[in-house]
Amino acid sequence: MRGQISDSQCVVYWQHPSGELMLAPDTRIKPFIGWRRIECKTVADIEQFSRRMASQEYKKMRSMRVEDHMRSQSYRDRLKANCRLRLASGCISQEDELMTRRTLQNLERKDELFFKMLADEPDLSRASLVIERQEEVIGMAKYARKRRGLSDEEVNPVSKLAEVTA
C-alpha cells in the first residue's frame, strides 16, 4: 500500500470518548480504561493526528492563559489604577515618572497580547514539532538527495500542462 510505514515506525495514540488524544507512552502498552488504541500506519494518518494533537494542545494552552489572566485581573487593575494615580499626583523624580509610565505601558501591552491571542487562531497547516524542524535538515531527504518542489525552469512547463488539462 502506498504511503505505508513499517510497524516499528508507526505512531500509536489513545483516544478518549470525550475526544481527548494522548500519545501512547509505549506502543506495546494497553490503553487506560475507557481509552481506545489507534495506530497511524500511513504518513497521512500521522499528519492528521499531528494536526488534531496540535489543535488540542493549543486549546489547552489558551484555556490556561485565560484562567491565569482572569485570576490576576484584579491585581493588574489595581496596579494600573495606582500608576495612573501616581502620574496624576506627580512623581517624585523623572526616573520615577519614567518607570511608572513604562509599567503602565507593559500592563496595557500584556492585555493587548492576551486579547490578540484570544482572537487569533493558530495556523495548523504549518504545525510541526521543534525536533521535526531540527531533524529536517539532517534527515533522509537530505542524504538521499531528494528534491522538494519544482525548480525555476520546471515551473512554466508544468503551468502550461495544467492549463491544457484544465
45-86 pLDDT per residue, tens: 888 898 899 889 888 988 898 899 899 999 999 999 999 999
Instruction: Provide the pLDDT confidence category of residue 42 given band limits of 50, 70 and 90.
Output: confident
Cell reading at 21: 488524544
% of the chain exceeding 70 in pLDDT: 70
Q: Which domain holds residue 74?
A: 42-165
Q: Residue 2 and residue 135: Cα distance in Å, rounded?
A: 24
Q: Does residue 30 sit within a domain? A: no
Q: Does residue 17 sit within a domain? A: no
Domains: count for the chain:
1
Q: Does residue 127 sit within a domain? A: yes
Residue 21 pLDDT greater than 60, yes or no: yes
Q: Please give the C-alpha separations between residue 102 and each of 73, 82, 107, in angstroms, as whole numbers.
A: 19, 13, 9
Q: Does residue 57 sit within a domain? A: yes
The residues near 83 (Cβ < 8 Å, ≥ 6 apart) are: 100, 101, 103, 104, 107
Q: Residue 109 and residue 67: Cα distance in Å, rounded?
A: 18
Q: Does residue 71 sit within a domain? A: yes
Q: Does residue 97 sit within a domain? A: yes
Residue 158 pLDDT greater than 60, yes or no: no
Q: Does residue 36 sit within a domain? A: no
Instruction: Provide the pLDDT confidence category of residue 166 given band limits of 50, 70 and 90.
Output: very low
On average, the pLDDT of the chain sits at: 80
pLDDT, mean of residues 98-122: 88
pTM above the 0.75 mark?
Answer: no
Q: Does residue 5 sit within a domain? A: no
pLDDT, mean of residues 14-41: 91
Q: What is the pLDDT of residue 50?
A: 87
Instruction: Provide the pLDDT confidence category of residue 95 given band limits of 50, 70 and 90.
Output: very high
**Higher local confidence (pLDDT), 145 or 43:** 43
Q: Residue 12 and residue 25: Cα distance in Å, rounded?
A: 9
pLDDT, mean of residues 152-162: 59
